[in-house]
Chain A
Amino acid sequence: MKVVGLIIALLAGSLLVYATADFPPLGDPNSPASVHVSPRYIEKTMEETDVPNIVTSVLADYRGYDTMFETTVIFCAGVACFLLLRVYRREEPQERLYRHVLTGVTIHVKAGKLPPSPDFERIDSAWTPHDLIIKTICRLLIPFIQLFALYVIAHGHHSPGGGFQGGVMLGASVIVLAMSQDLRTAVRRLREKADALMCATGVFIYAGTGALCLLLGSNFLDYSALAPVLHVDPIMARSHGIFMVEVGVGVAVMGVMIWIYNNVSSMGKYDEGL
C-alpha cells in the first residue's frame, strides 16, 4: 500500500509539475485569474457598496449566496458532530474525583456524587496539578479576546476582518475557558441548548436578511432594498446589509466551533473535557 500510495502521489505531482509550464509566474498582474471578474469588483466596490474592504464586499454582497451556503455547511458540520457523538444515556462514570480546596487532598468517590459545597471541587480524572498561573492568565485574557473579536467583526468593512474571523475568535475564547478551567465550567457559562440555538440563529440572521430584501420587493440578498427601512440611501443600505450578514456569520461560526469542541473533547458526554 505504501508503494502504491507513493506512486500515485508522485504521478499526481508530476502531472501538476507538467501543467505548471502553462501557469503564469508568481505576481503577474495579467494572469487570467486577475483580469476577468476581479477588476470589476475592485473598481466598483466603493461606488456600489461603500465598503473599502473589497474582500468583505465580495464575500457578503457580490457572492452572498456562496457565503450563505458556506455558513450552512458549517452549521451542518456542527449538527453532524452532535448527531454522531452526543450520548444521552445516563451512564454513571466509574468514579468521580473531588479535591478539597483548602488542603489539596483528592478523594475518590466510587458511586454517586458529593453534594455541592464550597469546600470540594470536582476535578477531571486526567487531572494535572492545580494550575493557578494558567487559570488566572486565561481569566484575565478572555474578556480582551472577546472584545477584540467584536472589533474584528464590526470593523470588517474597513480593515481585515469580518464574521468568520471574529466568530472563530469568539469561539476560541470559550474554548480557552474550557481548556484552562474544565469543560463543566465552560458549559455552565454557555449551555448546550443556548449554543445550538446560537448556531441556528446565525444562519437564520443571514437567510432572514436575504428574505427581508425579498419581502421588500427586491432580489434575495439585494441589500439596497433595505434603504427605506434603515432610512439611508441604497448604497449605504448595502453596507449595512453586509454588516447584518456578517453578524449572522459570526454568531453561527462561534456557536459551531464551541459545539464541535464540546462534543469531540468530551466524546459526547459533556462530562470531562481535555
Chain B
Amino acid sequence: MMGEFMQAVIAKYNYWIYITLMMIGLYAMIAKNNLIKKIVGMNIFQTAIILFYVSIGVKKGGTLPIVEHGHGAHAHAVHAADYLNPLPHVLMLTAIVVSVATLGVALALGVKVYREYQTLEEDEILARIREK
C-alpha cells in the first residue's frame, strides 16, 4: 500500500515541481507589497507553466524531435514513439519569448508608476492616490 503510494508520487514528480513553483508565484503575486516582486512572482508562475508543458511532452525511450538521417533516406519510416512530442516545445518556445516581452511591458509600467508616485510599494501608492 505504502509502496504503491510512493511509486505514484515519484512517477509524477514533474507535477509536484510545477505545482510548488506555481504556488510560490501565485503567493508572490497576491501577497507581496512591492510591484517588482509581484512581477517576479508572475515570471515564476510563467516558468511553472512552461515546465508543466515541456514535461508533458516527454516520452520514455524518445529522443529529440529532430528526424534522424533526415535527408537521403526517405525510404525508412518514422515512428512517432521514437520522438518526443514536439507540440509542447513549439508552444513553449513562443511562450518564453512572449514572457520576456510581457516582462518588458510590466517593467515599463513599473517605471511609469514610479515616476508618478516616487515609490513601488503598493500601500504607499494607495495612500498617495487617496491623498489626491
Contacts and interface: CB of A to CB of B under 8 A. Distances in A.
A126 interface: no
Contacts of A58: 86-87, 90
A147 interface: no
Given A20-B15, A34-B57, A77 B101 contact: yes
Contact of A81 (B13, B94, B98, B105): B105
A9 to B, nearest CB: 4
A45 interface: yes
B108 A33 contact: no
Interface stretch (A136-144, A159-167, A185-193, A217-225): A159-167
A84 B22 contact: no
Contacts of B109: 84
A162 B93 contact: yes
Contacts of A25: 8, 11-12
B94 A67 contact: yes
Chain A, interface residues (CB within 8 Å), range? 35 or more
Given A23-B15, A33-B57, A33-B88, A9 B102 contact: no
A158 B71 CA distance: 10
Contacts of A42: 65, 67, 78, 80, 83, 86
A183 to B, nearest CB: 15
Contact of B104 (A9, A51, A158, A260): A260
Interface string A67-97: 1001001100110110011000000000000
Interface stretch (A11-19, A101-109, A205-213, A226-234): A11-19
A54 B80 contact: no
Kindly list the 10 A-B residue pairs having the minimum CB-CB distance in the complex, ordered from nearest. A52-B70, A5-B31, A5-B30, A39-B80, A77-B101, A260-B104, A25-B11, A27-B60, A9-B27, A70-B94
Interface of A: 1-2, 4-6, 8-10, 12-13, 16-17, 20, 23, 25-29, 31, 33-34, 37-39, 41-43, 45-46, 50-55, 58-59, 63, 66-67, 70, 73-74, 77-78, 80-81, 84-85, 158-160, 162, 164-165, 167-168, 253, 256-257, 260-261, 263-264, 267-268
12 contacts: A1-B30, A9-B24, A9-B30, A25-B11, A29-B81, A31-B56, A43-B80, A58-B87, A63-B90, A85-B108, A85-B111, A267-B111
